[in-house]
Amino acid sequence: MENQEKAVPKASRRKFLSQALTAAGSVVVAPTLIESATAIGAEAPPSPVPVAPSTAGEISVTLHINGAKKTLSVEPRVTLLDTLRERLELTGSKKGCDHGQCGACTVLIDGQRAYSCLCLAVMQEGKEIVTIEGLAKGEVLHPVQEAFIHQDGFQCGYCTPGQICASVALLDEIKRGCASAITPDLSSPPQLSNLSEAEIKERLSGNLCRCSAYNGIVAAVQQAAGHTPPSAAALVLGATAKEGA
Amino acid sequence: MNNFGYVRAASVKDAIDRSAGDPKAMIIAGGTNLVDRMKVFLDEPSQLIDISRLELKKIEKTADGGLRIGALVTNTEVADHAEVRAQYPVLARSILSGASQQIRNLATVGGNLLQRTRCPYYYDTAFACNKRMPGSGCPAANGVNRGHAIFGNSEHCVAVHPSDMCVALAALDAVVEVEGPKGPRKIAFGEFHRLPGDTPNRDTNLEPGELITAVTIPASPFAKSSVYLKLRDRASYAFALISVAAVLDMSGKKIKTARLALGGVAHKPWRTTEAEAFLQGKAADTATFQKAAELALKGAKPLSHNTFKVTLAKRAIVRALTISAKGGGVA
Ligand SMILES: Cc1cc2nc3c(=O)[nH]c(=O)nc-3n(C[C@H](O)[C@H](O)[C@H](O)COP(=O)(O)OP(=O)(O)OC[C@H]3O[C@@H](n4cnc5c(N)ncnc54)[C@H](O)[C@@H]3O)c2cc1C
Ligand code: SF4
Ligand code: FES
Ligand code: FES
C-alpha cells in the first residue's frame, strides 16, 4: 500500500492507472500470455528438485516472473504475494484479505489464475508467473486492459489488477472449454461467442470489488470476448425502468 | 506464520519417511488450506514437506471401468476431465460449486479431503476450541451455531466438514488409497472422515505418516443422472449451509437404485442409507421424494441456531431428487 501511495502522481485517476499499467509492463517481451507460459512450463524440471536445508532459514529460489528470471533468498514462510511486493517491487498485485477471499492478489502461474497470497514463494521454483505488470506488450496494453479502461471497469483501482488477471485467465479458460457451476451442459461449455453475462459473473466470483465497479468489469470481459457490451447509460436506464415498473 | 523448514519430497516414500520421522512436520500440496491456517497460527509445523511435484497427477481408468484420480490432480483438472464430466457429473458439479477458479486451480484432491472445518471459533484463536486444543471447550455448542452440524455432533464439537467434493465422493462410494510407514491400504469413503466423539482434533482415520495417494471411484453407469445442489448465504463463492448429492438409477419412471449424501450437516459427508433403501423400486414422484427427505432427516439433532437446516435439507433433497429423476443438470 505504501508503495502505491508514493507512486500516485497528481494526474487524474484514470490517467494514472493506464500509465501505471503500461509503464510497469514495458519490461516484458512475452508474446501472448498463455503461449509463453506453456513454452517455459515445458522446460521446467518435471521431477522433484530437492532443496538441502530443511531447518528454518532462508532458501534460494529462482522465480520466472514476467519473462525474467529472479534468484533470491527467502524464508519458506514468505508468500509469493509478499515476495512480489516487498522484494521484487512488483506492487501491482494487491494485498486485500491475505486469506484467499478477495482476489486482489490474483496472478497467473503456468497460465492459470491463482491467489498469490496462498502460495509460498519457495514452491514456485521454475514456474512461469505473470503479474499485471507482465500483461502489456511494451507500450501496447493487453486487450483486457484496454477493455477495462473503455468500459470504466474500475473506480479506486485497488481490485483492478486482480480483476484484469482473472479476466485474462477467464477468456483463456473459455477457449480451453472449462465449465463453471452454472454451465447447463457440461459436454458443451460456452464459447467466446455465446459467453453469457451470468457465466462471466460466476467465473469472476473469486474477485471482489469494494467500489462495485462490477457492471464495468462484466462489460470489459464482454468487450474482450468480442461482444458489444450494453452502454453504461442503458444499464442505468434499465435499472430505473425496472424500479418504476 | 511461524518459521519452518522446507523440503521438496523426492518420492512418495521420501515424503512418508520424512513425515513419520518428524511428528511436527506437515505435508503441503496446493497450500490453499494449510497456508491460510498457518497465517493465523492454527498450525505451526517444524517443517513443510512439499509433495506438489510428485507423480500423483494422473486420472486413469481402472480395470473395473471406474476412475483412479491421483492425490495431486487439481480440483480444476478433475472438473474439466471429459470422463468425469460424462460419467460422474455430480463430482464435476460439486467441485465447480466450491471455492473460486483461483483456488480450484491450486487445490488438490488429497488436500480437499483433508481441509479442516470453517467453524469460526476454530479459526479465531481468541476462543477455546476442542478441535484446536483438546480439552479447552467448545464455544459453538452454546454459541452462534447456525452453520454447524445437525447430525453426529457431540458435546465436544459441533463443526461440519466443509468440502463439497467429498459429498459427491461419498455418494459415489469412492475409496481413498493411502500409503504409510506400514505400507499401502484402502479406506472406504464412509470410513475416512470421523465423527467428533471425544477426539474432535482428529478429522480422519489417517494414521501418522500416512499420505493420500489417490481416490478411486467404481464404475457407475447411472451416475450420469446425478445432481449436486448447494445452498449457501450468497449465490457463489461461499461454503455450503446445506448441500445434496443425489444419484438416481431410473428404469422408466421407477427408481432402481438411489444414492443420497448431504453436506453442511455433519463432521463428515453424510450418507442417508435409510432414505436410499426406501427409494429403491418406488415411483419417482414428489410424494416419494418427500417421504425420503423425512427419512433422511429423521435422526437430526439441530442446535439452538440451526433448526432451519432441517427444513432446508428436506426441501433441498426433494429438489435434487426431482432434477436427478429427469436426467440431472444444474440444480
Ligand atoms: C476462501 C476459500 C473458500 C473455499 N471454498 C470452498 C468450498 O466452497 N468448497 C470446498 O469444498 N472447498 C472450499 N475451499 C477449500 C479448498 O477446496 C481447499 O483449501 C483445498 O481443496 C485444499 O487442497 P490443497 O491441495 O490446497 O491442500 P493443502 O492446503 O496443501 O493441504 C490441506 C491439508 O491436507 C494435508 N495434505 C494435502 N495433501 C495431502 C496428501 N496427499 N496426503 C496427506 N496429507 C495431505 C496437508 O498437510 C494439510 O493439512 C475454500 C478455500 C478458501 C481459501
Ligand atoms: S464446533 Fe468444533 S471446531 Fe468449532 S469451536 Fe467447537 S470444538 Fe472447535
Ligand atoms: S489478498 Fe489474496 S485473495 Fe485477498
Ligand atoms: S475498483 Fe475499488 S475495489 Fe474495485
pLDDT in tens, B167-207: 999 999 999 999 999 999 999 999 999 999 999 999 999 99
pTM of the full predicted structure?
Answer: 0.91
CA distances from B324 to B232, B248, B316, B327 (A): 20, 6, 12, 5
Among B133, B135, B130, B136, CA closest to B157: B130
Distance, CA of B311 to CA of B293 (rounded, Å):
9
Highest-pLDDT range among A197-211, A222-236, B217-231 = A197-211
pLDDT in tens, B274-306: 999 999 999 999 999 999 999 999 999 999 999
Q: What confidence score (pLDDT) does residue A235 get?
A: 63
Whether B28 has its CB under 8 Å from any CB of chain A: the answer is yes
Q: What confidence score (pLDDT) does residue A239 get?
A: 54
Q: pLDDT band for A18, please (50, 70, 90 cuts).
A: very low
ipTM score over 0.95, yes or no: yes
Among B236, B197, B245, B192, CA closest to B214: B192
Q: Which of A6-15, A190-199, B141-150, B284-293 has the lowest mean pLDDT?
A: A6-15
Whether B101 has its CB under 8 Å from any CB of chain A: the answer is yes
Alpha helices by DSSP H, listed for chain A, are 2-7, 13-25, 33-43, 80-82, 143-150, 160-176, 197-203, 214-224, 232-244
Residue pair B250/B273 in contact by the 8 Å Cβ criterion: no
Rounded to an integer, the average pLDDT of B118-126 is 97
In this predicted model, which residue has the larger pLDDT, A138 or A3? A138
Ligand closest to CA B134: 2
Residue pair B5/B46 in contact by the 8 Å Cβ criterion: yes
Q: Is the pLDDT score of B68 beyond 50?
A: yes
CA distances from B100 to A38, A86, A107, A168, B53 (A): 23, 26, 14, 15, 23
Q: Is the pLDDT score of A180 beyond 90?
A: yes
Q: What confidence score (pLDDT) does residue A30 get?
A: 34
DSSP string, B49-62: EE-TTSS---EEE-
Q: Is the pLDDT score of A8 beyond 80?
A: no
Q: Closest to A179 (Cβ–Cβ): which among B35, B38, B80?
A: B80
Work out the number of other CB atoms within 10 angstroms of the CB of residue B231.
19
Q: Is the pLDDT score of A116 beyond 70?
A: yes
Q: What confidence score (pLDDT) does residue A51 get?
A: 54
Q: What confidence score (pLDDT) does residue B220 get?
A: 86
Q: Is the pLDDT score of A28 beyond 60?
A: no
Q: Closest to B85 (Cβ–Cβ): which among A115, A169, A179?
A: A179
Q: How far is the CA of A166 from the centre of ligand 3 (A)?
A: 12
Nearest CA to CA, how far is B198 from chain A (Å)? 30
Q: How far is the CA of A96 from the centre of ligand 4 (A)?
A: 11
**Which atom of ligand 1 approaches the CA of B238 most closely?**
8
In this predicted model, which residue has the larger pLDDT, A34 or B288? B288
Nearest CA to CA, how far is B279 from chain A (Å)? 27
Q: What confidence score (pLDDT) does residue B88 get?
A: 95
Considering only CA atoms, which residue is closest to atom 28 of ligand 1?
B31
Interface of A with B in 179-208 (CB under 8 A): 179-187, 201-203, 205-207
Whether B299 has its CB under 8 Å from any CB of chain A: the answer is no
Which residues in chain A are contacts of B76 at CB distance < 8 A? 112, 178
Percent of chain B with pLDDT over 70: 100
Which residues in chain A are contacts of B239 at CB distance < 8 A? none
Q: What confidence score (pLDDT) does residue A6 get?
A: 36
Rounded to an integer, the average pLDDT of B69-89 is 97
Q: How far is the CA of A208 from the centre of ligand 4 (A)?
A: 8
